[in-house]
Each structure stands twice: as C-alpha cells, then as structure tokens.
Amino acid sequence: MLPGRPPDPRRTARALQDAAVAALLAPSANGARPWLVRVRPGSLELRADRSRRSSVPDRRAREPLQGAGAALLDARVSLAAAGLAVEVRRLPLATDPQLLAEVCPVAGSPDPALAALGPGTAPVPAAGEPWPGPLEPTPARLPPELVRALVEAASAEDVTLVPVDREDRLRLLADLVRLAEPGPRAGHADRAEPVDVRPGAGQTVVLLATARDDELAWLRSGEARRRVLRIAGARGWTGDPLHQVVEVPVVRMQVRSALSWHAHPQDLLRLGRVTAPPAGTAARGRATPSTG
C-alpha cells in the first residue's frame, strides 16, 4: 500500500475477517478465551466476555485482560501481514468498560516488525499448556541477540523486559516460586512449575513489568507477552508463563523489590528450546467472528 493512500474497502473487509479469526484463536489460560471479537465496517472491536473467564481465580482480573492483549496482538499481526497500517484505541470509552480495543485500518504503511511475525513463523504454546517437547541440554542463557530482540519487542508495547540471568536472582526466584505454590491439593492449572537454575537446564527466565498497574497496563503486558513469545518461537525457543508468582500479592511484592524496582511485575516467562514439535498435535479449529 502506498503511503497516504486509503485502504481498499474489499481488501480491508477480508483482512478484518482474517484478523478477527486470529484474535479468536489466540491462546488463553486454561483455554477460557474471555473475549469477543466483532467486525464492523472498517474496524474490529475486541470486547470482554465476562461469562467465559477462567475457572482459576485471578485476584485482580489481570489474566483475562492479558489474554485479551494476546488476542489484540494477533489481530494486529494479521492486519500488518495483510499490508495494512492500523490505528489502535485501547479502552477507548469509559462508558463502555466491555470495549477493550478498537482496531481501524488507516492510510499508510504496515508495521514491518509485526508483519514479519505473520504466517510462517513458528507457533507458540498457549498459556497453561505443557511444554511441547523435551528440552535440549543447551546453556540456560538466551543468546544476546535474542535478548535484545525481546527487549525491543516488549518496549514497543510499552513494557519493560528484564532478563533474570544472575544465579543469585534465579535462586531467589526459585524460592519465590515454591512460596507461591498453592499446595499438593491444588489442581494442575493452579500449580506453578519449578524454575530450574542448574547449569545446562536449557531454559531461562524473563520478567515483564509495566510503569503502571491498571487495566491498560494488563492489556499491554498481554500484547507484549504474545509478541515476545512469537519472536522467540520464530527462532526456535518456546515459553511458559509462571502465573502464580505474580498472582500471590506477597510474592509479587518480593519479585518487584528484587527484580523490577519501581515497575510492576506482570509476567514471568520460562524460555527454552525443544528438540522437536509435539507428535500428533491437532490443528486448531476455525472460529467465526460476529459482524455488526
């Protein structure tokens, strides 16, 4: 598309439908996907669906908004890959709290960084899903060039990414994960996975943090998490959020004090390599967005 040239209406309509499907299929904790997508003439709406929240309690409703952020990021990637520039209005109406975002194609060039994450990049697991294969015995630290790429990707979503790569901080984090563990009677979805700090464990940990701690910050952190995981997935790494560590207030405060200083922790991600994609993985079904 030429800069300044209005998007073609037919092309835009098809691209919005594809983006809506991408948003509907975005990953969410326990597969709840508590959001709705509506395609309007010339725009896409992302709305909260309060009836489909995860069965796992979230003390401040952070995870539903982070999941919606992942859906918003996937819609933006789809539109950029289709060659469209967009304007995104997040939480645009105080009188309509269910409306989380509006995405409107506009004249201009698409975001090249988002377009590069379109079809052809490696898939990433949904939040709460098991690791998709055995870990390779690789060094625990991410390659420096990938760390830089992930820091830049998070920054593009107004989120700070902090690599947790010092051994003392990893050991502290491992203790905090154990502190956040709800106990042997909790269901699998409630349990935090251990942080392995042994040399050669084949994984590392990064923290996502925001300057504020409100609904907009939670939405943006979901966009950042999805963007980081898509970039990591395209380069052969997979990720798994450690939700419990940021859901238990006393543990979250300790993480903030030790790792993010004045910023608010929103997500901890384990990142590691896998030897092969999971055998027999079923393709995700089609979803149909609503129109109006």
Q: Are 239 and 229 in contact (CB under 8 A)?
A: yes
Query: How does DSSP classify residue 1?
Result: -
Domains of the chain: 9-117 (3.40.109.10), 144-273 (3.40.109.10)
- 48 confidence band (pLDDT: 50, 70, 90): very high
Q: Is the pLDDT of residue 50 over 90?
A: no
CB 221 within 8 A of CB 66: yes
Least confident range of 77-86, 100-109, 187-196, 207-216: 187-196
By C-alpha distance, which of 24, 31, 25, 34 is closest to 64? 34
**Burial code of 44-55, b = ≥16 C-beta within 10 A, e = fewer?**
bbbbbeeeebbe
Question: For the whole model, what pTM was predicted?
Answer: 0.82
Check residue 6 and give its pLDDT: 65
Q: Name the token pair of 93.
A: 């109406």
Q: Report the distance separating Cα 143 and Cα 65, nearest Å.
A: 30
Is residue 221 predicted with pLDDT exceeding 80? yes
Residue 51's pLDDT is what?
Answer: 64
- Please indicate whether residue 246 or residue 161 has the higher confidence score (pLDDT): 161
The pLDDT, as a whole number, for residue 34 is 86
Secondary structure (3-state) at 160 = strand
Check: CB of residue 109 under 8 Å from CB of residue 85.
Answer: yes
pLDDT tens by residue, 245-292 = 788 888 899 999 888 888 999 998 988 876 555 444 444 444 557 666
Angle at which helices 215-234 and 144-156 pack, to 10 degrees? 150
Q: Quote the percentage of the chain above a pLDDT of 90.
A: 47
- Say how far apart CA 159 and CA 225 lie, in whole Å: 9
Through-space distance between the first and last CA atoms of the chain, rounded to whole angstroms: 26
Q: What is the pLDDT of residue 188?
A: 42
| SS3 at position 229 | helix
Tokens 């709305």 belong to which residue? Answer: 47
pLDDT digits (tens, 9 = 90+) for 69-112: 999 999 999 999 999 999 999 999 999 999 999 999 999 999 99
- For the ranges 43-57, 118-132, 173-187, 209-223, which has the lowest average pLDDT? 118-132
Amino acid letter, residue 287: A
